[in-house]
Chains A and B, each alone.
Chain A
Amino acid sequence: MASSYVPVLLLIAFVVANAALIIGLSHLTVRQRPTPEKQTPYESGIPPLGDARERFSVKFYMVAMLFIVFDIETVFMIPWGVGYRQLSCGVPLAGGSCPAGHLVWFGLGEMLVFMAILLAGFVYVWKKGALQWD
């Protein structure tokens, strides 16, 4: 099965080479005539005031942290989703479907517990005002 990943590696190598080629070629073909004015950061025509790298709103950090938490929750849900049919069947699946009388609540119950924990965190974050942008 490992050989099915070779095309992807080839593609990535090809695209990386293309990106390098485009950036490199445009560097070689174009004559640069830098002037001090041209090299200043663009600020709608006035001389730039101070540095751009100042402190920015803490909300962006909040979003980044929440993203990591919830993205990992999503990643956990994907294998559960794929295995859901087997998880809600007491015996091994026969031809992709569960033999009659063997359905179990395990798959759904497990995810409901997981979701309840996730939801508790979500409600806490919401009530704390972390999702409030004003």
Chain B
Amino acid sequence: MLLPASLPPMLQRIVDPQAPPADVGFFGPIGVPLIYTIVKLLIVFTVYMVGVALLTLAERKISAWIQDRLGPNRVIKGWGQPLADGVKNFMKEETLPDAANKPLFLLAPAMAFIPALTVWAVIPFAAPLPLRWGRMDMVLADLPIGYLYILALASLGVFGVVLAGWASNNKYALLGGLRSSAQMVSYEIAMGMSTVPILLLAGDVSLSTIVRQQEQNGWYVLTLTVACFIFIVSAFAETNRLPFDLPEAESELIAGYHTEYSAMKFSLFFIAEYANMVTASALMATLFFGGWTVPFWHAVNNAPWAWWKTAITLGAFLFKVLFFLFFYMWIRWTLPRFRYDQLMSLGWKILLPLTIGYVVVIAGATLGLDALGVPRTPWHGWPVYSLCLLALNIGLIGLLFVVADRGRLISPASARVRAAELARLRAVRQRSTLAHEATSGAGD
């Protein structure tokens, strides 16, 4: 709808719902952007906190399901368990060790909580919603630096952990904090570098551009499969989840860096940990699985916007995020914990060279495809460019798992035994079989 320019400011409330709110400054006469921001902030923050509470229940229920037991089933058939836990944590006495460094001991949970709950600001979670006062973009702040903001804030999370470990003045906590910080910084490099291929293809760090690109040219999990694999592995390490949960390995370090924490301060660490999981899942969905877009349904992913499109895309996004959260729990009960030296050598000696090589391969491949004249946009409805990259990735995955692996990571247990040892074992077995045959033969 076109509006005459001479309208008084108050009447500009009746604006085009498809366009962003009238640009009268953030705190302008009506302040629509400010109101939108506050609404989105409160809703998503609440969703995060409630989601984290439900996630603790989901984790226990799914664990129980995988291990064939019941799980929490007392407080309102189990559904009230998160609430009961929350109330309990508010009522519990907090201990403060005499030897602890008190200001840092108090600061550490906040330092873990704040980055975990602010990272989501740039992740778009649904199609824009047209409203009477103008379009509401379903992202808190579509920053032009999008992905860099996530990298910057996610790396702040390590401070809470290392401060907690050090300030507690407890040996378990210190070991947990040290392990955790070394692990987080090691995998941060692989995580940062694994996203460089995305920037090569998208040519932008804004997450909405990355989502838009995937809507047009296919999900990056297909065109950048190796990067997706590395990203998921490093995200598991970054969030300290199994198989990388050495910082709080219960069987050796009690609870790791939060051994001395109780009640609400422990809760803050717990919330931060689960919020990090949610954010990591949302990032996997956004960077590699098309974000909020629905595959093959271009009508719902594009303007003109409508409320039902927002609802459907929000559902698609939540489905992807929930799938990855389930994946986290599934992996937890599937893979055993790494040894610390294995963890470090995986990060530094395998993932880091792999990502560096992959960045070069993708840079070379895009240049080669451009030189061959393959169009980046779909050609006669066929995303030729993406298909070429997909073929390349299938080849690379094959190379990675069949040739480069050589039975080191994926192999039967016998392949890990030295050849000489294997021959000796076989000889022993043969001798004992012969002896057994001889004795049983004599008995007849």
Chain B interface, number of residues (Cβ within 8 angstroms): 90
Q: A19-B114, A30-B93 are in contact. Are A4 and B141 (CB under 8 A)?
A: yes
Partner of A74, one of B93, B166, B192: B192
Asked if A78 and B148 make an inter-chain contact with CB atoms under 8 angstroms apart, the answer reads: yes
Establish whether residues A42 and B170, one from each chain, have CB atoms under 8 Å apart when the complex forms: yes
Name the interface residues of B75-91: CB closer than 8 Å to any CB of A: 89-91
Residues of B within 8 A of A22 (CB): 113, 264, 267-268
CA separation between A16 and B356, bound complex, in Å? 37
Q: Is the CB of B264 within 8 A of A26?
A: yes
On whether A85 and B203 interact (CB within 8 A), knowing A70-B189, A78-B196, the answer reads yes
How many whole Å from A49's CB to the nearest CB in chain B?
A: 9
Given contacts A78-B199, A122-B352, contact A23 B344 (CB under 8 A): no
Q: Residue of A at shortest CB range from B206?
A: A82
Closest to A53 in B: B169
Question: Are A103 and B170 in contact, with the CB atoms below 8 A?
Answer: no
The answer to whether B144 and A63 have CB atoms under 8 Å apart is: no
Main secondary structure, interface of A, reads helix
Given A7-B41, A42-B259, A111-B360, CB of A32 within 8 Å of CB of B93: yes
Assuming A8-B140, A12-B114, is B90 touching A43 (CB within 8 A)?
A: no
> Cβ of B110 and Cβ of A19 under 8 Å apart?
yes
Give the most central of A41, A67, A98, A111: most B CB within 10 Å. A41
Residue B22 lies at the interface, judged by CB distance under 8 Å to chain A: no
State the CA gap A16–B178 with chains docked (Å): 25
Of A23, A126, A134, the residue contacting B268 (CB under 8 A) is: A23
A133 and B254 contacting across the interface, CB-CB below 8 Å: no
Residues of B within 8 A of A133 (CB): 340-341, 344-345
The CB with the most chain A CB atoms within 10 A, among B98, B110, B171, B185, is that of: B171
Given known A74-B192, A108-B367, contact A52–B263 (CB-CB < 8 A): no
Alpha-carbon distance between A26 and B148 when the two chains are bound, in angstroms: 35
Is B94 an interface residue, CB under 8 A from the partner?
yes
B269-293 to A contact mask, C-beta < 8 Å, 1/0: 0000000000000000000000000
Tell whether, in the assembled complex, residue B186 and residue A63 are in contact, meaning their CB atoms are under 8 Å apart: yes
Q: Are A6 and B37 in contact (CB under 8 A)?
A: yes
A88 to B367, CA, bound (A): 7
Alpha-carbon distance A34/B92, docked complex (angstroms): 13
Residue of B nearest to A98 (CB): B370
Q: Is the C-beta of A91 less than 8 angstroms from some C-beta in chain B?
A: no
Give the contacts of B172-216 with A (CB-CB under 8 A): 172-174, 178, 181-182, 185-186, 188-189, 192-193, 196-200, 203-205
Are B263 and A5 in contact (CB-based, < 8 A)? no
A11-B121, A111-B363 known; A16+B114 contact, CB < 8 A: yes
Complex: chain A residue closest to B343, CB-CB: A133
Q: Chain A interface residue count: which class?
A: 35 or more
Smallest CB–CB gap between A131 and chain B, Å?
5
Chain B positions 8 through 49: 1 when the CB is less than 8 Å from some CB of chain A, otherwise 0: 000000000000000001100000011001101100010000
Task: Assess A82 versus B204: contact at CB under 8 Å? Given A103-B371, A122-B353.
Answer: yes
Contact B41 A31 (CB under 8 A): no
Query: Are B121 and A8 in touch, CB under 8 angstroms?
Result: yes
Contact B370 A115 (CB under 8 A): no
Most chain B CB inside 10 Å of its own CB: which residue of A14, A15, A40, A71: A15
Is the pair B352, A70 in contact by a Cβ cutoff of 8 Å?
A: yes
When A107-B363, A133-B341 are in contact, do A81 and B26 touch as well, CB less than 8 Å? no
Quick one: which of B362-407 are within 8 Å of A by CB?
363-364, 366-367, 370-371, 373, 375-376
B117 interface residue (CB < 8 Å to A): yes
User: Among the listed A11, A70, A107, A122, which residue makes an inter-chain contact with B41, where contact means beta carbons less than 8 Å apart?
Assistant: A11
Q: How far is the CA of A120 from the CA of B110 in the complex (A)?
A: 40
Which partner residue on chain B sits nearest A82 by CB separation? B199
Contacts of A66 in B (CB 8 A): 348
Contact B92 A96 (CB under 8 A): no
Q: How far is the CB of B118 from chain A (nearest CB, A)?
A: 5
CA of A37 to CA of B96, assembled, Å: 11
B188 close to A71 (CB less than 8 A) = yes
Task: Report yes or no: B188 in contact with A77, Cβ–Cβ below 8 A.
Answer: no
A122 to B109, CA, bound (A): 35
Residue A128 is within 8 A (CB to CB) of chain B in the complex? no
Q: Kindly supply a per-residue 1/0 record for chain A positions 39-52, scoring 1 wherever the CB is within 8 Å of any chain B CB and 0 otherwise.
A: 11111100010011
Give Cα A112–Cα B91 distance, bound, in whole angstroms.
59
Could you give 17 example pairs across A and B, Cβ below 8 Å? A3-B26, A4-B141, A5-B143, A8-B143, A11-B41, A19-B114, A19-B268, A29-B91, A41-B169, A63-B186, A67-B186, A70-B189, A71-B185, A85-B366, A111-B363, A115-B356, A131-B345
Interface residues of B (CB under 8 A from A): 25-26, 33-34, 37-38, 40-41, 45, 89-100, 106, 109-110, 113-114, 117-118, 121-122, 140-144, 148-149, 166, 168-174, 178, 181-182, 185-186, 188-189, 192-193, 196-200, 203-205, 254, 259-260, 263-265, 267-268, 340-341, 344-345, 348-349, 352-353, 356, 359-360, 363-364, 366-367, 370-371, 373, 375-376
